[in-house]
């Protein structure tokens, strides 16, 4: 029983990591209606930025979160403005090719600059474990869970209570109606893409002490994030959070009870079943984002 409870704890902590990445992906798709296949590479950029700040200035990754979030927001703004915006009225497959091309370009740029070596941030305080009876949890995992909860609640409050948040929701629900109400939709798209990228910036600062940075580090996380987003609902931030928790639990339990090499098979099987039987996801919305 103790092993099972420890696996549940591990699954929740793992799910919180997926949640922070997936919320940004959900925000971008829910508003801009673009599936960003370069989302994982933005995570990779953020992890390298955290590593460089740690290496050159000795900045702790949690403190580096602020400049990296700002950096990723600006990168997201530039991507939306100069790559996605000109293609908004193009066919969806053109938009997909553009983000896939950006993903490939970022991976190869990282290979040119950093090579294929692993770069780790040495933060022993983050990797220190706390014991609660017979259960152990890393401090970094606790911070990750708290950050995921705060991020989802904060974004929800922002969307519901602020003028900009309501403009984003209006744009997500009906672009033409928002235009008629005086909402500058193009600006909302830029801000929304930037916010989605900023979420990845936060994730990169929290993940860096636990996982090394490599040019392909984003691939694994973003594939899981797509499963999470589809499971939770493509336009629901709360759905992304709870979907991430489900996938985290599935990951932890299947790795122990089935085989570590087969855990991806299990949740990708869930991914296919959701697409077949409930394509809007478990918490999916008809329109808009929340």
Q: Domain of 88: which CATH number? A: 1.10.3470
Q: Output the pTM of the full model.
A: 0.92
Q: Is the CB of residue 80 less than 8 Å from the CB of residue 189?
A: yes
User: 């403005």: which residue's tokens?
Assistant: 81
The total of structural domains in the chain comes to: 1
Report whether pLDDT(286) > 60: no
Q: What's the rounded mean pLDDT across residues 10-27?
A: 92
Rounded mean pLDDT of the chain?
A: 90
Contacts of 256 (CB under 8 A, 6+ apart): 3, 7
Please give the residue range of the domain that contains residue 110: 2-277
pLDDT tens for 139-186 read 999 999 999 999 999 999 999 999 999 999 999 888 889 888 889 999
pLDDT band at 290 (very low <50, low <70, confident <90, very high): low
52 found inside a domain: yes
Q: What pLDDT sits at residue 284?
A: 62
pLDDT tens for 192-206 read 999 999 999 999 999
Give dist(CA 79, CA 85) in Å, integer. Answer: 8
Q: 3-state class of 261 per DSSP?
A: helix
Between residues 191 and 259, the one the model is more confident about: 191
pLDDT more than 70, % of the chain:
98
207 found inside a domain: yes
Helix spans in the chain (H): 2-32, 39-57, 61-79, 92-114, 124-127, 139-161, 163-173, 175-180, 185-207, 217-232, 237-257, 263-277
287 found inside a domain: no
284 found inside a domain: no
Report whether pLDDT(287) > 70: no
* Environment class of 87 (CB within 10 Å of its CB; exposed 0-12, middle 13-18, buried 19+): middle
289 found inside a domain: no
Q: What pLDDT sits at residue 285?
A: 54
Strand-pairing partners, residue 213, are 119
288 found inside a domain: no
């Amino acid at each position: 029983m103790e092993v099972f409870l420890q696996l549940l704890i591990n699954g929740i902590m793992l799910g919180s990591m997926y949640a922070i990445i997936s919320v940004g992906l959900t925000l971008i798709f829910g508003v801009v209606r673009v599936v960003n296949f370069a989302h994982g590479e933005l995570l990779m950029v953020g992890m390298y930025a955290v590593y460089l700040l740690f290496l050159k200035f000795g900045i702790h990754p949690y403190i580096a979160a602020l400049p990296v979030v700002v950096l990723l927001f600006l990168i997201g703004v530039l991507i939306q403005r100069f790559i996605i915006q000109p293609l908004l009225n193009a066919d969806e497959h053109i938009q997909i090719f553009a983000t896939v091309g950006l993903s490939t370009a970022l991976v190869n740029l990282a290979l040119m600059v950093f090579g294929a070596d692993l770069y780790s941030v040495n933060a022993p305080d983050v990797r220190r474990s706390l014991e609660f009876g017979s259960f152990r949890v890393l401090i970094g995992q606790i911070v990750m869970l708290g950050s995921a909860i705060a991020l989802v609640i904060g974004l929800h409050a922002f969307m519901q209570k602020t003028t900009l948040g309501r403009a984003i929701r209006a744009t997500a629900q009906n672009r033409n109606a928002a235009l008629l109400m005086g909402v500058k939709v193009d600006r909302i798209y830029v801000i929304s893409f930037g916010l989605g990228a900023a979420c990845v910036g936060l994730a990169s600062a929290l993940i860096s002490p636990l996982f090394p940075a490599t040019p392909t580090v984003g691939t694994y996380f973003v594939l899981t994030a797509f499963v999470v987003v589809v499971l939770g609902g493509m336009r629901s931030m709360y759905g992304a959070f709870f979907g991430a928790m489900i996938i985290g639990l599935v990951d932890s339990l299947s790795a122990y009870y089935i085989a570590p090499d087969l855990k991806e098979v299990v949740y990708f099987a869930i991914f296919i079943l959701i697409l077949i039987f409930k394509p809007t996801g478990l918490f999916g919305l008809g329109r808009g984002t929340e």
